[in-house]
Structure 1
Amino acid sequence: MNKIILNDNFEFKQKAILLVPTFFFLYFSCVGLQTFLNHKIEELNVSFFIMLFVFSIIGISLLALTFSKVGFKVQDNELYRILSFLDLNFYSKKINPRDKKIFSILYKKAFQRNDYLSAGGADVSYNFAVQDFVLLSENHLEKESLIKLNSQKHSEELKLFLEEFGKLKFEIYSPNFQ
């Protein structure tokens, strides 16, 4: 099995938002664990153990999701988009190219405003380039987005990976309307 891990699943501000419920569940899991260690099992009821288990599972799952990374893998000559945490794949989605055995990279300029920083009236925004990997039909009229990357390094790595292991052909996007 060949795989490539590219970049984080969430941006910094999205991670900050996800960390609030994550710490909530993990905090109450730790409090429950301390309660369990400080009391006799006979003094605790079944609902305590259920809540401890549920809060622990939700907290660990949110932590893994918050710091997950996006990538691709090839298994049994099939291409999958994966989410992984600490080299453990916990979600994979099969990419079904059907008649789309061609991919291209579309370059776009984008800009993002940081509204949470501009409360004082200053316009805090930044420009960046986005490389959008798309699957194309033979005449390039139908396209399906695979992933959008901000890093040129990751873009080159993914291009080589899709050509070598994904058995996809790279072409420059030029639709044929005939």
Structure 2
Amino acid sequence: MNPPQKIILEDSFVTHQKIHLLGLASPIPIFLAELSYRELNWKGDLLVYFLIGLFTGVVFLAFSKKGFIKSDGKLYKAKFFRGRVLHRKKISLQDRPVVSILKFRRSRKYAWFSAAKPDLGYDFNSFEIYILNDRHIKRDLLMRFSSEETATAALEFLSSGLDLKPEVYSPNFGYPVRR
């Protein structure tokens, strides 16, 4: 049994999303500080432990990174915090022998801004890794990246040690020829 291989690629959230997560969780320490001045029964203690766990989980999630894990021929999509696995999800490679990178142009709007520019946002390139069937007709998104270098590193990791071969996306919608 081989030890699992992992690759940690990039942050799970952009700065704007981290601000949202931490901003929503910011009342929790204030509430905990208020509770610390009171004498609590077992229910209050349970509430304090729950809130501490919730705040810690949100912080871990906000600063997590995304990547892949290969273990015994199986592929997992994972979230990491300081190199440790927070969560992993198995990816089914059944009938999907091909992996490819597709480039898309996307835009993201900011959630709050002044009345002067209510639709303020920015455009960016997105590099998405898909697993495909032989004819490239069916595709499943594995992960989305903000840089081409990161996507290329992920593609190299996926194509080594697994039965995935990298190809240029070129769907074949034609019907098979019968003879």
Instruction: Assess same fold via TM > 0.5.
Output: yes
Q: What is the TM-score when the length of structure 1 is the normalising length? A: 0.85
Corresponding residue number in structure 2 for 1:176: 172
Corresponding residue number in structure 2 for 1:161: 157
Native 8 Å contact 2:100 2:168 kept in 1:
yes
Alpha-carbon distance in 1 for matches of 2:107, 2:40: 54
What does 1:16-165 correspond to in 2, within 5 Å? Answer: 16-32=19-35, 34-35=36-37, 44-114=40-110, 116-117=112-113, 119-121=115-117, 124-165=120-161
Unaligned runs of 5+ in 1: 37-42
Q: Share of identical aligned residues, percent?
A: 29
3-state DSSP of counterpart to 1:110: strand
Native 8 Å contact 1:73 1:81 kept in 2:
yes
Native 8 Å contact 1:2 1:165 kept in 2:
no
The one-character-per-residue Cα deviations of 1:71-123 (angstroms, maximum 9, x if unpaired) are 11101211000011121211110000101011111111223344634631487
The one-character-per-residue Cα deviations of 1:11-53 (angstroms, maximum 9, x if unpaired) are 2222111112322223333554x548xxxxxx54212211111
Q: What is the TM-score when the length of structure 2 is the normalising length? A: 0.84
Native 8 Å contact 1:118 1:124 kept in 2:
no
Unaligned runs of 5+ in 2: 175-179
Let me know the Cα RMSD of the aligned residues: 2.2
Corresponding residue number in structure 1 for 2:17: 14
Alpha-carbon distance in 2 for matches of 1:163, 1:69: 21
Native 8 Å contact 2:110 2:120 kept in 1:
yes
Shift of residue 133 of structure 1? 0.7
Alpha-carbon distance in 2 for matches of 1:19, 1:127: 24
Alpha-carbon distance in 2 for matches of 1:24, 1:115: 19
Change over 3 Å in CA distance of 1:114–1:21 after alignment to 2 = closer
3-state DSSP of counterpart to 1:98: coil
Native 8 Å contact 1:26 1:60 kept in 2:
no
How many residues align? The count is 171
Change over 3 Å in CA distance of 1:76–1:59 after alignment to 2 = same
